Amino acid sequence: MTVIMGSRHVLGTEMITLIDVSVQIKHKMEDALEWFPGGAAGAAMMAGAVALGTYYAATRQKGSPPMFPLDEQAFLEYEGTEMIRTSRFGKDAKDGTFLRYLFEDCRTLYDCFRRGAKESNNGICLGWRETKNKPYQWLHYNEALLRAKNFGCGLVHMGLHPGSYVGIYSINCPEWILTEQGLYCYSMVIVPLYDTLGADACAFIINQAEMTTVICDDDAKINLLLDKAPKCLVRLVHIKPLKPETIARAKKQAIELLRFEEVEKLGSTYSHSHREKPPRPDDISTICYTSGTTGNPKGVMLSHENIVADVSAVLLQMGEHRPCRQDTMISFLPLAHMLERCCQVAMYMQGGAVGFYAGDIRNLMEDMKALKPTVTPAVPRLLNRIHDKVMGNVNGSVVKRAMLRMAINSKMTELQKGIMRKNSIWDTLIFRKVQEGMGGRLRLIVVGSAPLSGQVLTFMRCAMGCVVVEGYGQTECVAPCTLTIQGDVSPEHVGPPLACCCIKLVDVPEMEYYASAGQGEVCVKGTSVFKGYYKDPERTRTVIDKDGWLHTGDIGTWLPNGTLKIIDRKKHIFKLSQGEYIAPEKLENIYSQSQYVAQVFVYGESLKSCVVAIVVPDVETVKIWASANEIPGTLSVLCADDRVKALLLEDITRLGKQAHLKSFEQVKDIYLHPDPFSVQNGLLTPTMKAKRPQLKAYFKPQLDDMYSKLN
Ligand code: AMP
């Protein structure tokens, strides 16, 4: 199990309990591998498997060829000394003309939904179920369009107008999309709020965006906003019923409360008085506040064109695997994050259907079984858990390990030939339950938002028997700016640039990355680059230079085939006293590969000559080791045991050596901490990345103690 720590992110907590999701999936994995036999039965099984493998080899299928030669996935342009790479799908990109849209009738997010209605012939659009035992119910496109328009019209009738900013603070549900589309009917702007911001940051955002109105799903969120309600907030719309005391509280604060349906009804009554005013491509569609690890949240302004361009470029790059009107997507990642938003936009643009999880992440597997999605977005954390669990289950048995290896090798060989399927003998024998745990029909997984190990990506491609594409990008360029292409199943890169942008790498001399050597800070220019931070031109200037290049803060390297590989982060580096640079996240990525490590935070100070780390041990593997070595006790007790500490220090040092870390990069001491860093305890960002200043403050006594002994 690994936690890869990195940059800042935004997501709502209700969905961030991905650990819980993984736990659900984990149980499925255990089921899937439970029957793996050992001993004599195992040998017989093994022989059977070999025979079946031979049969399978004789009957394997033919694959489809990639869209173009995989050894040349991007165009290389020269502009002075800069080597800029552009997409092979956007032939005009080399002249600075980037993709804006794919379909003439689809240039705003307002247009997208209408295109979906046409493409699907008013097919199913938004799905939900009340509880885990109920079937999914569906709104069709036209009904969703009408309800959205009514909702927007209701808000306009209450005094909102084109250009108004409206907040939404809710888990993913049909009303989220109805609100969004309702706002677009009148050129209003949607501003998502989410749990991990906390009451102060929510108040800051409402105040900064001068929002009069916020749509909330439940009582708790209404109360959180009432706690710190800024003066500009006059109205809260709620999706679920409220408690009488909440209603009384709002009344006392002179904040109007309305039910979602009340607004819809108002809009339907006055629909003739307020004609729709659809947005233009250049209008702002959303402000996405990113939480960051320090300071106030930054409001990333994205226009309709930004988002349409990005999603269109993704569809282009996906080729025949792109979502289509027969597809159904499961929605459980936070809509406050652009990865989920973009996946949904792609579905609507193509006339597909989106089914929302029922709201309890612990029941996601049941939701998936009921919905049987064909498409899902994913984050590395989730895939890591699935992978680690399966690996953990086979580790104890030679037979199980061998069978899994054979299965993965065999499916990998097929993948390299472009064959992707779920009906091989290995699927039946080994991967069926894993696949069924996610509904059994997945044909496309879109992963991004954080580094993903190549091993995990390959494993997922083999185990799920479906297309798994990895995108890289950031909110400031909507979501992805690169995406792996159809037919390329090699891991350890994030694909070539999308047609909506071009990418160059610029020197970072203090980290010894030079563009001439194909390494440097990833810079993006194109139609997906944001319009600036809301009311913060100074911060905007720190990331977008005078020539329009967005400086991402990520360090990349070009691979010979024109794909990008993310290798580092620019920001979190510091010098040790002897003048050597340390990039703690790089070390964390290496150390977190240890089976004994659940999470790790590497820390160093410029006044010291070495680095140290706080390590949260992996409870299962450490307990297994401890009981094999007759060391009793809970994880807290084990954390205080020198033998356990020695085991972990030795293992991570070994991994460091293996990864050619220099001796000053290796941690010289570790402190074992039994409780995971989490979003709830404020030590992780919502996408499970380290909040470095908070971690430093939290573990100050332990860090000081380690250093006092080392110096
Ligand atoms: P956000 O704006 O919250 O989506 O965060 C974007 C950041 O996540 C990027 O600047 C990267 O540091 C990281 N990131 C996103 N996708 C990837 C990826 N595929 N591989 C490595 N890092 C990624």
Ligand 1 centroid, distance to 105 Cα (angstroms): 31
Asked if residues 169 and 216 have their Cβ atoms less than 8 Å apart, the reply is yes
Residue 57's pLDDT is 56
Distance from C-alpha of 462 to C-alpha of 427, rounded to nearest angstrom: 9
Asked if residues 196 and 9 have their Cβ atoms less than 8 Å apart, the reply is no
Which residue CA neighbors atom 23 of ligand 1 most closely?
450
Ligand 1 atom at minimal distance to the Cα of residue 475: 2
Ligand 1 centroid, distance to 252 Cα (angstroms): 43
Ligand 1 centroid, distance to 11 Cα (angstroms): 13
Residue 657's pLDDT is 94
Closest listed residue to residue 586, CA positions, set 643, 677, 513: 513
Instruction: Provide the token pair at 603.
Output: 């820390």
The Cβ-side half-sphere exposure at 542, using a 13 Å CA radius, reads: 7
- State the greatest distance between any 2 C-alpha atoms of the chain, in Å, as a whole number: 79
Which residue CA neighbors atom 5 of ligand 1 most closely?
474
Helix/strand/coil for 675: coil
Which residue CA neighbors atom 10 of ligand 1 most closely?
474
pLDDT in tens, 28-47: 444 444 433 344 445 555 55
552 lines ligand 1 (CB under 6 A): yes
Distance from C-alpha of 169 to C-alpha of 448, rounded to nearest angstrom: 23
Instruction: Provide the token pair at 131.
Output: 């509880």
Residue 44's pLDDT is 53
Closest listed residue to residue 63, CA positions, set 443, 427, 487, 445: 487
Helices H, strands E: what count in the chain?
25, 26
Low-confidence ranges of the chain (pLDDT < 50): 1-41, 293
470 lines ligand 1 (CB under 6 A): yes
Residue 7's pLDDT is 33
Ligand 1 atom at minimal distance to the Cα of residue 689: 8
CA dihedral for 649, 651, 652, 653, sign (positive or negative): positive
Distance from C-alpha of 543 to C-alpha of 522, rounded to nearest angstrom: 11
Residue 643's pLDDT is 96
Distance from C-alpha of 185 to C-alpha of 193, rounded to nearest angstrom: 21
All residues at 6 or more sequence positions from 587 whose CB lies less than 8 Å from its CB, including other chains: 602, 611, 613, 656, 661, 665, 667
Residue 325's pLDDT is 97
Asked if residues 400 and 393 have their Cβ atoms less than 8 Å apart, the reply is yes
Asked if residues 267 and 181 have their Cβ atoms less than 8 Å apart, the reply is no
Closest listed residue to residue 701, CA positions, set 638, 612, 619, 628: 612
Ligand 1 centroid, distance to 685 Cα (angstroms): 13
Ligand 1 atom at minimal distance to the Cα of residue 7: 12
Residue 12's pLDDT is 33
Helix/strand/coil for 159: coil
All residues at 6 or more sequence positions from 144 whose CB lies less than 8 Å from its CB, including other chains: 113, 125, 126, 174, 177, 178, 181
376 lines ligand 1 (CB under 6 A): no
472 lines ligand 1 (CB under 6 A): yes
**Residue among 2, 3, 7 whose CB has most ligand 1 atoms within 8 A, to mutate:** 7
Ligand 1 centroid, distance to 556 Cα (angstroms): 12
All residues at 6 or more sequence positions from 573 whose CB lies less than 8 Å from its CB, including other chains: 510, 511, 581, 582, 583, 584
Residue 587's pLDDT is 92
Distance from C-alpha of 627 to C-alpha of 635, rounded to nearest angstrom: 12
Which residue CA neighbors atom 15 of ligand 1 most closely?
449
Distance from C-alpha of 570 to C-alpha of 18, rounded to nearest angstrom: 27
Distance from C-alpha of 497 to C-alpha of 85, rounded to nearest angstrom: 7
290 lines ligand 1 (CB under 6 A): yes
Distance from C-alpha of 212 to C-alpha of 421, rounded to nearest angstrom: 51
Distance from C-alpha of 594 to C-alpha of 648, rounded to nearest angstrom: 8
595 lines ligand 1 (CB under 6 A): no
User: Which residue intervals of 270-328 are DSSP H helices?
Assistant: 304-318
Kindly tell me the burial class for residue 60, based on how many C-beta atoms sit within 10 Å of its own C-beta (0-12, 13-18, 19 or more).
middle
**Residue among 338, 379, 522, 554 whose CB has most ligand 1 atoms within 8 A, to mutate:** 554
Instruction: Provide the token pair at 705.
Output: 């103690």
Ligand 1 centroid, distance to 586 Cα (angstroms): 14
Distance from C-alpha of 12 to C-alpha of 335, rounded to nearest angstrom: 8
Instruction: Provide the token pair at 531.
Output: 């319009």
All residues at 6 or more sequence positions from 295 whose CB lies less than 8 Å from its CB, including other chains: none
Ligand 1 atom at minimal distance to the Cα of residue 9: 3
Instruction: Provide the token pair at 621.
Output: 């593997």
7 lines ligand 1 (CB under 6 A): yes
